Structure 1
Amino acid sequence: MEFESVIGLEVHAELLTKTKIYCGCTTEFGGKANTHVCPICLGLPGSLPQLNKQVVELGIKAGLALNCEITKVGRMDRKNYFYPDCPKNYQITQDELPLCRNGYIDIELESGEIKRIGIERIHIEEDAGKLLHTKRGTLVDFNRAGVPLIEVVSKPDIRTSEEATLYLTKLKSILSSCKVSDCKMEEGSLRCDANISIREKGTEPFGIRSEIKNMNSFKAVEKALHYEFERQVKAVTAGEKLTVETRRWDETNNETTVMRSKEEANDYRYFPEGDLVTLNISDEWIENVRKTIPELPHEKEARFIKEYELPKYDAHVLTLTDSMAEFFDEAAKLSKDPKAASNWIMGDLSRLMNVEGTWVEDLKFAPNGIAELIEVIKDGTISSAIGKQVLEAMFESGKLPKAIIEEKGLKQNNDEGAILEIVNKVLDENPQVIEQYKSGKTRILGFAVGQVMKATKGQANPGIVNQLVEQEVAKR
């Protein structure tokens, strides 16, 4: 019997607002515990919420970017539950009338097939506080309570852990690009829960699902889903009865463990939030928000392939972040050589950034620096090898290539007479080059070229060096 997964993901993304969803407290990450709070976000008696308009706009923006329908007449609801990090004993969220519905994300599978993952709904709500477990007991920090969220709920269209990772990666790139959320998983501003069940391939009914929590990276999501699939298959094959459970991912032991059983659905006793007015969203408001949506990463990728004739791999890597895509786009236009710009940015520049742990936005030079580097290599001022040294100097100082070349005396030597003298000296000192070449080992010429470049400290024109080495070896 062959089984397949049925997976749905629930992603919480904190919104990029300066203040909380129902009060004026800051949403800034960190800060001394319980200092970013007020009577409203603490749920003190007599305090009344007021919905932050920017939260609604960012929710609409996310929905439009994710191909959703916008609910024009909606409301906020109370979701009742008691937990120490929920100061009011209820959460203000949306139940029957979510802000956005019926969207989708298209992902590209390894085979090249495009698969559409449906989005059931996107609703806005407030975040809870944070529990801090210590040796003295559990403490609560309410700084995060009331920070605005969107919850993006996918349809159960995902079939493998790899598809889940592709979906999450694309969702994150869209939300980041739209400036809806900073999506920093390490700060908790992007969190994911997964629902997974199994069924025999070719059948329609869903199996008994498990909800997995406590996953703090996409890799953890992939590993947890893979483990849970294997666990459920093993249990069903052995004749065990599965039950609806909430499980946590144990990163240390690479396994899921039971948190609680959910044999019956939780009764949150949803009802309309009486302290907030009905949401009325006009077509004009929706269109005004639509105008603020930038070119999305997958749209940039397609444009780079078409406009700059880049390989798909290059275009994908260059659009992983907005800052990288914008830097390349400008460098490609200025240099009029997109492939060369791509090679320098994805190669040596990325290596330098990885070593230093920096990002494109931290660079000391602008895209015109890459364009100028390509120019001085093309016109023969320096070789590609010297270009690597120049780029390192640009990275450290922020100076432009021409200034660095002048300052360090790196200009390429194109004097054939001077280079010829060095070639003959290298051949005189390495008679084995002639012997091996005449015996058919032509690759020895590369050694001779390397020795000449070393003797000229990399400043000899490589084309002239190659030509002269071949010429002089053939004469002997």
Structure 2
Amino acid sequence: MTAVAEIMDYEQVLERYDPVLGLEVHVELSTRTKMFCGCANAFGAEPNTQVCPVCLGMPGALPVVNGKAVEAAIRIGLALNCQVAEWCRFARKNYFYPDMPKNFQTSQYDEPIVFDGHLDVVLDDGELFRVEIERAHMEEDTGKSLHVGGATGRIHGAEHSLLDYNRAGVPLIEIVTKPITGAGERAPEVARAYVTALRDLLRALDVSDVRMDQGSLRCDANVSLMPKDIAEFGTRTETKNVNSLRSVERAVRYEMQRHAAVLASGGSIRQETRHFDEASGGTSAGRPKETSEDYRYFPEPDLVPITPSREWVAELAGTLPELPWERRKRAKDEWGLSDEELRDLVNSGALELVAETVEAGAPSGDARSWWVAYLSQQANTRGIELTELAITPAQVARVIALVAAGELTNKLARQVVDGVLAGEGEPDEVVAARGLAVVSDDSALQAAIDEALAAQPDVADKIRGGKVQAAGAIVGAVMKATKGQADAKRVRELVLAACGQ
């Protein structure tokens, strides 16, 4: 566990300093193959089974650019309001890490494929904050190290390390912001809101599964502080590979407080990478942060420059889907939502799921109710995101349709959803397998009603005497006898009829 360093009270930080952020988000693209070779790009395969001479850096192996990855990079740039380069090329970024078998990373340096854009993000209270985008460039991912025998899972204290090169060569887009200033006390919130908006955008573009838990979206958070009376950026630290939205916010806040404590004590900030610890909420030192000169960039001699034609760029612009903020505005208007209701849907991660459920035929109110209430509870219980639940919007829409048709009660519908979440099949299959269909045969209901009336003659007499509210006891008994599969409204009608009311 990371030891928590001395930190300054957050309010005091804001009295003395202005925060400056820089966010670098690495996105693994969901192409079929890797960036420069034909190896499969799939998560979870047995270690070192998706490799070849190219991604292992064997002598004489020549790379070939993945055209679909270039297409995805341009579409991402267009959605981020970026300019698309008419000419760009790859470079070699030289450094030694055991999980990069070539000892260099094929990336882009001074000539990225897209640049100068922006993304407007919505904060918790509905305020818009514009984040300027410096660039988005193409590169390849590294392999993965597994450090064995230590207490922290890091190399320090480990007995040995294992290397899996399946991820080496997977297509990456790195999206880099310009320095983010002016956020003040809301800097941590801005960082979280930006990564959230970017994740939603990338999901809408269908270029990545953006699974932060699997590393397909990772954020490096750069933080520095400027004293209130000095208009000069301080020394930055870079907290690497933060892998959840909440952690992005926590890491930025912690580093602001740690920087301030160091500076206030007369110390200086070391330019370095940091590691975020989920358990403690603190960061620990990594390695000194290199500069571009340390990487000894030079143009990649084995790859030709990329020259996207203006016609192709225009064609790709025409493929952009309805973007998340556009969809939110349409949903707000069509569903009659207030700003607060829309904000709650967005913050819960349910908006897209509700929209897809409505598209599958469900009324918007019912779709919202299921995702925001029962299904959110199920996700919280499992400790996962709503999108990770093992149920699709189409399946939720089918459950809603079964309730509307009178074939399920709301209580039975929850059991059907539980069955789908447990992997028991489609909603109709769960209904059949569990025997959950509503009992709609009046003769079957009447038999249960007669039995309940005979068992409670005093209640039956009250109903016959005009106290119709007493029918609730008989309805409850029938519902219990039918295991909740009767239509309570119909049961009540039959009870009153049987008692001459």
TM-score range, shorter chain: 0.7 to 0.9
Equivalence map 1:169-188=2 (5 Å) = 169-188=196-215
Note if 1:96 corresponds to 2:99: no
Shift of 1:57: 0.5
The 8 Å contact of residues 8 and 157 in structure 1, kept in 2 or not, is answered as yes
TM-score scaled by length of structure 1: 0.80
Matched residue pairs, number?
451
323-332 vs 223-232, which moves further = 323-332
Rounded Cα–Cα distance in structure 2 between residues aligned with 1:461 and 1:319: 34
Q: CA, structure 1 residues 29+116, in 2 after alignment: closer, same or farther (shift >3 Å)?
A: same
Note if 1:369 corresponds to 2:391: no
Note if 1:197 corresponds to 2:224: yes
Rounded Cα–Cα distance in structure 1 between residues aligned with 2:125 and 2:418: 38
Rounded Cα–Cα distance in structure 2 between residues aligned with 1:38 and 1:383: 56
Q: CA, structure 1 residues 65+167, in 2 after alignment: closer, same or farther (shift >3 Å)?
A: same
Residue number in structure 1 paired with 2:364: 338
The 8 Å contact of residues 391 and 420 in structure 2, kept in 1 or not, is answered as no
The 8 Å contact of residues 210 and 246 in structure 1, kept in 2 or not, is answered as yes
Aligned residue for 1:9, secondary structure, equals strand
Shift of 1:166: 1.1
Residue number in structure 2 paired with 1:298: 325
Residue number in structure 1 paired with 2:265: 238
Residue number in structure 1 paired with 2:152: none
What amino acid does structure 2 have at the position aligned with 1:143?
Answer: N
Q: CA, structure 1 residues 322+239, in 2 after alignment: closer, same or farther (shift >3 Å)?
A: same
Note if 1:283 corresponds to 2:310: yes
Rounded Cα–Cα distance in structure 2 between residues aligned with 1:407 and 1:384: 11
Q: CA, structure 1 residues 195+284, in 2 after alignment: closer, same or farther (shift >3 Å)?
A: same
What amino acid does structure 1 have at the position aligned with 2:32?
Answer: K
Percent identity, aligned pairs only, is 39
Rounded Cα–Cα distance in structure 2 between residues aligned with 1:96 and 1:53: 21
Shift of 1:203: 5.6
Note if 1:261 corresponds to 2:288: yes
Q: Could you list the runs of 5+ residues in structure 1 that have no partner in the other structure?
A: 431-444, 470-476
Rounded Cα–Cα distance in structure 2 between residues aligned with 1:111 and 1:241: 36
Rounded Cα–Cα distance in structure 2 between residues aligned with 1:426 and 1:51: 79
Residue number in structure 2 paired with 1:455: 477
Shift of 1:302: 1.8
Rounded Cα–Cα distance in structure 2 between residues aligned with 1:116 and 1:124: 24
Note if 1:43 corresponds to 2:66: no
Residue number in structure 1 paired with 2:166: 143
Residue number in structure 2 paired with 1:272: 299
What amino acid does structure 2 have at the position aligned with 1:330?
Answer: A
Residue number in structure 1 paired with 2:251: 224
Rounded Cα–Cα distance in structure 1 between residues aligned with 2:488 and 2:278: 54
Shift of 1:361: 6.4
Rounded Cα–Cα distance in structure 1 between residues aligned with 2:95 and 2:164: 18
What amino acid does structure 2 have at the position aligned with 1:455?
Answer: A
The 8 Å contact of residues 402 and 408 in structure 2, kept in 1 or not, is answered as no
What amino acid does structure 2 have at the position aligned with 1:146?
Answer: G
Of the candidates 275, 295, 302, which is equivalent to residue 248 of structure 1?
275
CA RMSD across the alignment: 4.2
449-458 vs 36-45, which moves further = 449-458
The 8 Å contact of residues 331 and 367 in structure 1, kept in 2 or not, is answered as no
What amino acid does structure 1 have at the position aligned with 2:323?
Answer: L
Rounded Cα–Cα distance in structure 2 between residues aligned with 1:199 and 1:131: 36
Q: CA, structure 1 residues 235+452, in 2 after alignment: closer, same or farther (shift >3 Å)?
A: farther
Of the candidates 197, 215, 237, which is equivalent to residue 210 of structure 1?
237
Residue number in structure 2 paired with 1:437: none
Note if 1:14 corresponds to 2:28: yes
Residue number in structure 1 paired with 2:4: none
Aligned residue for 1:267, secondary structure, equals helix
Of the candidates 152, 157, 161, which is equivalent to residue 180 of structure 2?
157
Q: CA, structure 1 residues 81+304, in 2 after alignment: closer, same or farther (shift >3 Å)?
A: same
236-245 vs 453-462, which moves further = 453-462
Shift of 1:67: 1.8
TM-score scaled by length of structure 2: 0.76
Of the candidates 27, 36, 56, which is equivalent to residue 70 of structure 2?
56
Shift of 1:122: 0.2
20-29 vs 354-363, which moves further = 354-363
Shift of 1:340: 2.8
Query: Could you report, residue by residue, the CA deviation over 1:354-409 in whole angstroms, capped at 9, with x for unpaired residues?
Result: 668895664596465245245336xxx876566656766787664559x8799745
The 8 Å contact of residues 73 and 138 in structure 2, kept in 1 or not, is answered as yes
Residue number in structure 2 paired with 1:33: 47
Aligned residue for 1:206, secondary structure, equals coil
Residue number in structure 1 paired with 2:135: 121
Q: CA, structure 1 residues 350+252, in 2 after alignment: closer, same or farther (shift >3 Å)?
A: closer
Rounded Cα–Cα distance in structure 2 between residues aligned with 1:6 and 1:364: 40
Rounded Cα–Cα distance in structure 2 between residues aligned with 1:200 and 1:449: 73
The 8 Å contact of residues 399 and 416 in structure 2, kept in 1 or not, is answered as no
What amino acid does structure 1 have at the position aligned with 2:128?
Answer: I
Query: Could you report, residue by residue, the CA deviation over 1:66-88 in whole angstroms, capped at 9, with x for unpaired residues?
Result: 22111121111121222222222
Aligned residue for 1:175, secondary structure, equals helix
Rounded Cα–Cα distance in structure 2 between residues aligned with 1:141 and 1:80: 20
Shift of 1:164: 0.9
